[in-house]
Amino acid sequence: MMIIISLLLLASLLPQLTFTARVNVGIVNGTEAKPHSRPYMVSLQIDKKHVCGGFLISDEFVLTAAHCWKGYPEILTVMVGAHDLKNSKDSYRVEVKSYIPHQYCPFCSHWNDIMLLRLQEKVKPNNYVNWISLPKEGDVSGGTLCSVAGWGRLLTKGTLSSRLREANTTTINHEECQRKWGSMYFQASQMICAHGNGGSCLGDSGGPLVCGNTAVGVTSFVYIKGCNSPERPNVYTKISAYLPWIHQIIRNIE
């Protein structure tokens, strides 16, 4: 019942946006990533089928979007060390021990769209598996060249990509993001928007927005009329706004 209610509310309240796990295209105008060049990337799966992206931030925690999990009894597994999801030679699945969506994620809408997954077992870093750094504090200025990656669809109504793909994207200043999205959808204190020749879409939710060697955002939502739209740039949850929450969760568990 809660899932039905939340979807009804989202349908009525958020007509202009859709979460990237629910639109009909994926990393558009991207290229195949060099195998294992992003060892922090993970595939979140249900019944061995990819549903969302995520990324390792330690040997025990994955960061992703809160809307990627609909709540119990839905069970996610985490595929680490993957490049080609059809070839499991260098990858393996890890069960999720704890799901920790942000406490102020109302019905897991676009506000506070962030979640920690604690893994059942710690991963060991190697050439295929490792974690990525988080920002220490502060903001990302507009005009910063960053990148996104995922196993999302390549074409409208196409199939998911079995191989990890990536694309460059450039952050946009908050004033322009606010103007293009409006305050009902975009909140500069907790979001970043970006646009480029390529971008995220279906199946790419939860993956990182990476600037330099740091994950600064979590792929959250896009314009319902088209991914990577210059009219409504892709939006990412701003990780720096949630650092106290992330550190508190990890500290309390350790």
Provide the CATH number for the domain around residue 62.
2.40.10.10
The two structure tokens encoding residue 137: 């504090």
Q: Which residues of 200-225 are buried (b: 16+ CB within 10 A; e: fewer)?
A: bbbbbbbbbbbbeebbbbbbbbbbbe
193-197: average pLDDT: 93
Task: Indicate if 50 and 115 belong to the same structural domain.
Answer: yes
Residue 7's pLDDT is 25
What mean pLDDT comes out for the span 95-118? 88
pLDDT at 20: 55
Considering the domain boundaries, does residue 74 fall inside one?
Answer: yes
CB-count exposure of residue 37 (10 Å: 0-12, 13-18, 19+) = exposed
The answer to whether 233 and 220 have CB atoms below 8 angstroms apart is: no
The answer to whether residue 113 is catalytic is yes
Sign for the CA dihedral angle at 48, 118, 234, 81 comes to negative
Using the predicted structure, report yes or no on whether residue 5 has a pLDDT greater than 50.
Answer: no
- Indicate the number of domains in the chain: 2
pTM of the model: 0.89
For residue 1, tell me if it sits in a domain. no
Closest by CA to 107, choosing from 227, 12, 238, is: 12
Q: Show the DSSP H helices in the chain as ranges.
A: 2-13, 174-181, 243-253
Examine the domain organization and report whether 137 and 155 are in the same domain.
Answer: yes
The residue-averaged pLDDT of 210-219 equals 96
Q: Is 189 a catalytic residue?
A: no
Same domain, residue pair 220 and 140: yes
CA 219/CA 192 separation, integer angstroms: 10
> Are residues 49 and 97 both part of a single domain?
yes
In this structure, the answer to whether residues 156 and 231 fall within a common structural domain is yes
Asked if residue 35 is part of any domain, the answer here is no
The active-site residue, picked from 83, 91, 113, 161, is 113
For residue 138, give its domain range: 132-241
Residue 242 confidence (pLDDT) above 50? yes
Same domain, 162 and 143: yes
- Catalytic residue status for 205: yes
Tell me which of 36, 67, 102, 174 is the catalytic residue: 67
The average pLDDT across 100-108 equals 78
Indicate if 121 and 162 belong to the same structural domain.
no
Contact call for residues 99 and 69 (beta carbons, < 8 A)? yes
